[in-house]
A = this chain, B = another copy of it.
Amino acid sequence: MATAVTHRMRKFLNDPADLVRESLAGLAAAHGDVLRYDAQNKILLRVDAPVAGKVGLVSAGGSGVEPLHGGFVGLGMLDAACPGEIFTSPNPDQILAATEAVDAGAGVLYVIKNFPGEVMNFKLVAMDAKDEGIAVESVVINDDVAIADADRRRGIGATVLVEKITGAAAERGDDLQAVAAIGRRVNERARSIGVGLSSCAPPAHGKPIFDLPPGEIEFGIGISGEPGARRETMRSARDIAAEMLETVLSDLRPADGAQVLAMVSGLGGTPLIELYLMYGEIERGLRDAGLAPARKLVGNYITSLEMAGAALTVLELDEELTGLWDAPVHTAALRWGA
C-alpha cells in the first residue's frame, strides 16, 4: 500500500506514484524564470522555447538522477528534458513532443545516454521527426569506464558536460552539424567512474535495490541504482580517489600537461564536506599525473536518489571547449555569467 511504503521509508512523499510529477511541478514553481513544465506531455521546456534561429537541444532519461536533466534546462543548456518515472526511460511520445516544441527551424540535437532503451526510443522518434521535416542529429554518450567494452558503456557524468558545452555552441549560433560534432568531441574526450557507498530505495519499490554488507563498497556504479561493476573493500578516501583516477586516466590517456575539467558529483546522499575532501584528493592526483585541472565542478550533478557515493568525470579540454564551458548558463542547477 502506497501510504505504508511512504511512512516506512521516511522520504518526503505523498503517493509514490505521484513523486515524479509533483517534483517536476515543484521544480517549475521554483524556477519559473528558467523553465516550464508541460504536464500534458510530461516534459520540461526552456521558458522561451522555441528560440528563433537556435538549434534545439533535447535530453531524456529516467528520474531519480536529479538535477539531470531538468535542472539543466535553460539559457545555454537544454531546451527540453523528458523525464521518465524513477530509473525508467521516458516514452517516445514525450521525446516527440519535446522535439516539436523546441524546433525553430534550425534542427534538434538529441543528447542520448548509451542505454539500449533510451537509444532505441530516440531512434524511433528521430524517424518521426524527420517525417515531419525536422532535422535531427544525435550524440550518444558512453563515458562510463566501469564497462570494458566501449560500445556497451553507459552515459553518466559526461552527459552534464555535453549538455553544457553543446548548449553554449547552440547559443552562439552554431548549426546542427557543428553542435553535434562538438558534442561528440566532448564525449570522446571524457571518461567517468562512480563509486557507491550505499544502495538507494526507489519509493515504489519500498526497499534498497541491493544489500551492501558493512565494510564493502560498489566500484563502477551506474545511475539507476544498480550495483557496480565489482564489490570492493572500504578504504580511505585517498585510496578510493587514486583508484578512480587511475581507472579514468588509463582509459582516457590525455596528453602530457593537458588542461582538464574535473567533476566530482555526489550520488545524492553524500554531503559536501566529503565531496570537497574527495575533490582535493582528485586534484592532487591529477597534478601528480602531470595534468592541469583548469575547470572544476563539485556537487550533486548526476545522482541516484539518496545513494551515498561519488562519481568522477575527467574531460580533456581544448581552447574551444574551455570557452564554451565558460559561456553564460542559467539553469536550476548550473548558473554563471547570467
* Stretch among A11-19, A124-132, A143-151, A250-258 lining the B interface: A11-19
Separation of A14 and B19 alpha carbons in the complex (Å): 37
Chain A at the B interface: mostly helix, strand, loop or mixed? mixed
> How many copies are assembled?
2
Contact with B along A302-324 (1 / 0, CB 8 A): 01011010100000000000000
Separation of A14 and B281 alpha carbons in the complex (Å): 10
With both chains docked as a complex, state the minimum distance between the C-beta of A63 and any C-beta of chain B, in angstroms: 6
Contacts of A63 in B (CB 8 A): 273
Contact with B along A4-34 (1 / 0, CB 8 A): 0011101111100001101111110111000
Decide yes or no whether A290 CB sits under 8 A from chain B.
Answer: no
> Which residue of chain B has its CB nearest to the CB of A68?
B272
Contacts of A274 in B (CB 8 A): 11-13, 23
Say yes or no: B13 contacts A237, CB within 8 Å.
yes
Say yes or no: A236 contacts B273, CB within 8 Å.
no
Contacts of A6 in B (CB 8 A): 234, 236
Residue pairs across A and B with Cβ atoms less than 8 A apart, 22 shown, are A6-B234, A7-B233, A7-B235, A8-B214, A11-B270, A11-B274, A13-B236, A13-B277, A19-B277, A23-B276, A23-B280, A24-B276, A26-B278, A26-B283, A29-B279, A29-B283, A269-B269, A270-B306, A271-B305, A271-B306, A335-B335, A337-B338
